[in-house]
Amino acid sequence: MLEISSESINNVLVISLIGRLDGITSKTFIDKTNEPEMSTFSRIVLDCKDLNYISSEGLRVMLMAAKKAKSLGGSLTLCAVNAAVNEVMMISGFGALFGVHSNVQDAIAAIS
């Protein structure tokens, strides 16, 4: 199961992910990030403090969101990643690709 909430802070879209981002829930992530009120943001922070699992499919949809942000002239970054998810990010190289920050404020500062 994946729960997603979002808010705009200083023209940065902060998306909070709760649960699992995998083959079953990746469509939920895609659908949510394609909603009109979300799809126009070029700067995105994924708050992963409550994301407890990510699969290769989850990484793929994060990459899709990052490419979309880049096409709009922005970027996507991560924050508050727990140890289990961070291990996947580092092994896959996605941690270096996206950047991982300790909290939302640091992540916003990094892409502002």
80: domain CATH number is 3.30.750.24
Number of separate domains in the chain:
1
The DSSP symbol for 32 reads H
Q: Is 88 exposed, middle or buried (0-12, 13-18, 19+ CB in 10 A)?
A: middle
- Is 44 within 8 Å of 69 (Cβ atoms)? yes
Q: Torsions phi, psi of 105, nearest 5?
A: -60, -45
Is the overall model pTM greater than 0.85, yes or no?
A: yes
Give the residue numbers spanning the domain of 38: 2-111
User: 95: Cβ–Cβ under 8 A, 6 or more apart, which residues?
Assistant: 78, 81, 86, 89
Q: What is the pLDDT of residues 38-60, one digit of tens each?
A: 888 999 999 999 999 999 999 99
